[in-house]
Chain A
Amino acid sequence: MTHSSDLTRLTAAETAARIASGRASAVEVAEAHLARIEAVDEKVHAFLHVDREGALARARTVDAKRSRGERLGPLAGVPLALKDIFTTEGMPTTVGSKILESWIPPYDATLTKRLKDADVVILGKTNMDEFAMGSSTENSAYGPTGNPWDLTRIPGGSGGGSSAALASYQAPLAIGTDTGGSIRQPAAVTGTVGVKPTYGAVSRYGMVAFSSSLDQGGPCARTVLDAALLHEAIAGHDPLDSTSVDAPVPPVVEAARNGDVKGLRVGVVREFAGEGYQAGVMQRFNESVELLRELGAEIVEISCPSFDKALAAYYLIAPSECSSNLARFDAMRYGLRAGDDGTRSAEEVTSLTREAGFGPEVKRRIMLGTYALSSGYYDAYYGSAQKVRTLIKRDFDAAFGKVDVLVSPTTPTTAFPIGERADDPMAMYLADLCTIPSNLAGNAAMSLPCGLAPEDGLPVGLQIIAPAMADDRLYRVGAAVEAAYHARWGHPLLEEAPSL
């Protein structure tokens, strides 16, 4: 088993290199990860569905290509955990909801297609808060996921399955989606790397919608370079998504290979501090700012006065869009159908199905959004929230006039215990305080590990924010910080996690 477990500890870049050079076969790599899932996922519960046969079939294809002497792509044969929000032809896609429990999509998301085209080995689908609504993965209809650092704690959310899969070495790569922080906050609390690309950089076609104007798929990994390799594989214009950016993908891999912050102007957002921020989180964050200064960056304090309204605006825009996006789950064409005993009208069956199929947080947001869009309330709620959104964009524009990137803690606290905030939605919403402004503005942001909080020994995330379409800056800065920390710690942070 030594050999197998070695394979699960490799980075994606190392794995691809081994497969390409023949030092490991793609099938061996896939089998090692499937064995790891078998061994630990009962405890972690990162996966909702494991596609053993599909993964091995893809791996065999990669090995066959190699034996025929075909050129392999940079991620050929590398296993990946796919958030269960992207459609996969012939494989269940539940979005963490009972309402889609039995749904097998007839089509692949553009992102799924691109992964397949890149010969990435999709191991299965990962757990998530229902319809990506949550910051802890506790809102999954299929039960919570444990944080590999402490299984009694949350792995973040909504993409807790993906972050936990990475942190427990069940996959070297994962896909997340970030509407208000669902890639970055899980990365922060599990000591992994997560990137929310510029809005429109990764196609949303086949990504089940929560809030269309905020949703953005992106890469999750254990290293900055791995995230960049995955970013490059999934990004790019898609004619099936009208909001997809029609411009070349920024040179993220090149940036990740050339980490450097010399002469870079780094802004520290004054508003991301104070009440609610854990002392150990602020300590590690402040050390990171010092590190950046030592590495040659110029540190500038920046004020973004509208950010304190971001959470309120987000909780009007996201529920409004979701109330409309989730209207299609009406039991008529797919998914759950409840109460259809032959006596009830279509309307009654729709109501009963939605009652039975949606969890409390989803219902809360549908109701909130329905109300916010109602005639007579639209201007006060949805309309005002859009104005706040404009103000936040202006704050960012002003900031990026002065600095190249902004930094902040990714989330105010380390991983909290499962159940602690389950009955307190407001406390839960605060987990996304630092991540939400980037979703509202549509720019790019990354979270990467910056140490353990002294008081609880749990990972802290550093958030880097770059202007829209300057995603490569995240990788250039992230790679420099990562290299410096690895040198300081003598190893990646994740090696300090307890073995499961």
Chain B
Amino acid sequence: MTVTELVSYEDALASYDPVMGLEVHVELGTRTKMFCGCSTSLGADPNTQTCPVCLGLPGSLPVVNATAVESAVRIGLALNCEIAQWCRFARKNYFYPDMPKNFQISQYDEPIAFDGYLDVQLEDGEVFRVGIERAHMEEDTGKSTHIGGATGRIHGAVHSLLDYNRAGIPLIEIVTKPITGAGERAPEVAKAYVAELRELIRALGVSEARMEMGQMRCDVNLSLRPHGTETFGTRSETKNVNSLRSVERATRFEIQRHAAVLGSGGTIVQETRHFHEDDGSTTSGRVKEEAEDYRYFPEPDLVPVAPAREWVEGLRAGLPELPRLRRNRLREEWGISEHEMQSVLNAGAIDLITATIDAGAPADQARKWWMGELARRANEQGTELSALPITPDRVARVCELVADGSLNDKLARQVIEGVLAGEGGPDEVVDKRGLKVVSDTGALSAAVDEAIAANGAIAEKIRGGKVAAAGALVGAVMKATRGQADAARVRELILEKLGVQG
């Protein structure tokens, strides 16, 4: 295999216009599989979540999971698609050991949802509309683990292990129309589309859509055409690009690679390609010399799906607010910039902050704690924000204690530390650790007297009218009381004792 020297991204875009097509598979979070009653939970021992149906044993027959159909319709509606009045499943025939029946039950020319769009917002706020060709239902395959090969792929493997727990898990495949006009922002658009789709899927509650768990998988089709031309070039299909960053990198790499091949007078081979996380490159997979013949035909073991219109309209009425609209609304309510909102989104903090506000905290306080102290701790522990052992209710309670003066920021951080350490709720931690702000004159008076005595020079300045110098004495008192003193009350006491007006 010859390694092509890449063309710089800028040079590539100077000559060519990228056209993308994105195919995203989403594993639905239904309790049972697409066509049988087996559990879909992850992490079970291999082949323990199987039955005659998902193993494709002779004689077994599929039965459609009604919840999966409902999820598919809701996804279709959220993507502004038409919902088929009547559609059938089809068999996609090809041999592969991890496919129990050697055909996949999918949909062919009658997808459940078609002709829609998704508006995605780039980081600077620009909205780009991505056309949706179709969303269809299908079943996942089993999982092959190839042992002995250098690359983990089947070639060169000594033997392979097959786990059919995944076989039959419901999938929705969402295919975009050709995405044109993104120009140099194509990689960014690709990433933003997948990110937006992920948010949408989560908002619908139909899947956790965790890319790192394989619950959402993306194939990137890319071709280039010279500026000013209409015809699409030959495309490559980069399979299983499984993180947002990878989507962006794979797109960018393919733009540069295609440009290099085309620029040197070569032709692009229609093929699938593998993406490599380590260096962001792609390498040739299987060459598609001719379109694979899957011999699709209507699945005779299943009856057509004919969603009743009233039912579809009921589902439409029950759709949640679209993530992009919700984000824009919240951004305005919270009074923050696009950039700040992007940080909140990236941190996975939107729902946590919203819930904290719903529990009574002011927006700025809620955001401050989740994006500050809590984000820092999550980062330290290498965990997701939502995985921290603290609830929005408890964060709201901390905010409340700060607002009523029971805690200051320093104490509040200690309370949060206690909650995260499993010491109980904020009030319990306050009690156990004795973290109340001290504002009682009697308790503070001695500490103030000591501070004045120990800092005679500063006290003189204050007496002389340099009120600003009081801060140093307040600091001394705070230090002496290990942060528990009510700073405002301390300042009052200092000025009072030194006989000056605040």
Contact = CB atoms under 8 A, between A and B. Distances in A.
A327 B102 contact: yes
Interface string A340-352: 0000001100100
A87 B160 CA distance: 29
Interface in A99-149: 100, 103, 105-107, 109
B267 interface: no
Interface in A313-341: 320-321, 323-324, 327-330, 332-334
Interface in A341-396: 346-347, 350, 370, 373-375, 378, 382
A392 B292 CA distance: 34
Interface string A248-285: 00000000000000000000000000000000000000
Interface string A200-223: 000011111101110000000000
A227 interface: no
Given A206-B59, A333-B55, A375 B301 contact: no
B100 A243 contact: no
A87 B101 CA distance: 17
Interface string A213-238: 10000000000000000000000000
B334 interface: no
Contacts of A86: 59
B61 A241 contact: yes
A346 B157 CA distance: 11
B64 interface: yes
B464 interface: no
B295 A373 contact: yes
A242 B64 contact: yes
A300 interface: no
- Is chain A's binding surface mostly helix, strand, loop or mixed? loop
- Chain B, interface size: which category? 20 to 34
Contacts of B62: 242
Contacts of B162: 332
A312 interface: no
Interface string B284-302: 0000000101011100111
B335 interface: no
B93 A321 contact: no
Tell which of B56, B59, B100, B162 has the most Cβ of chain A within 10 Å.
B59
A239 interface: yes
B57 interface: yes
A327 B95 contact: yes
A95 B91 CA distance: 23
B93 A207 contact: no
Contacts of B57: 87, 105-107, 333-334
Interface in B66-97: 91, 93, 95, 97
Interface residues of A, number: 44
B58 A105 contact: yes
A330 B61 contact: no
Contact of B97 (A100, A242, A332, A375): A332
A242 B59 contact: no
A430 B100 CA distance: 35
Contacts of A500: none
B63 interface: yes
Contact of B63 (A242, A321, A375, A382): A242
Nearest to B92: A324
Tell which of B64, B101, B297 has the most Cβ of chain A within 10 Å.
B297
A328 B301 contact: no
Given A205-B59, A212-B300, A375 B64 contact: no
A184 to B, nearest CB: 22
Contacts of B295: 323-324, 370, 373-375, 378
B204 to A, nearest CB: 26
B303 interface: yes
Contact of A100 (B56, B58, B300, B301): B58
A16 B103 CA distance: 45
Contacts of A327: 93, 95, 101-103
Contacts of A211: 300
Nearest to B56: A328
B52 interface: yes
A93 interface: yes
A323 B52 CA distance: 20
Interface in B292-320: 293, 295-297, 300-303
A346 B100 CA distance: 14
A107 B52 contact: yes
B90 to A, nearest CB: 10
Contacts of B15: none
Nearest to B293: A375
A240 interface: yes
Given A373-B295, A375-B293, A243 B56 contact: no
A187 to B, nearest CB: 24
A323 B293 CA distance: 14
Contact of A205 (B61, B91, B103, B300): B61
A239 B62 CA distance: 10
28 contacts: A93-B59, A105-B59, A107-B60, A204-B59, A204-B61, A209-B58, A209-B301, A240-B61, A242-B61, A242-B64, A242-B302, A242-B303, A243-B300, A243-B301, A323-B93, A324-B297, A327-B93, A327-B95, A328-B58, A328-B100, A328-B102, A330-B95, A333-B55, A350-B95, A370-B295, A374-B295, A375-B293, A382-B297
Interface of A: 86-87, 93, 95, 100, 103, 105-107, 109, 204-209, 211-213, 239-243, 320-321, 323-324, 327-330, 332-334, 346-347, 350, 370, 373-375, 378, 382
The 7 lowest CB-CB distance pairs between A and B, nearest first, are A327-B102, A212-B300, A373-B295, A213-B300, A206-B59, A208-B58, A87-B59
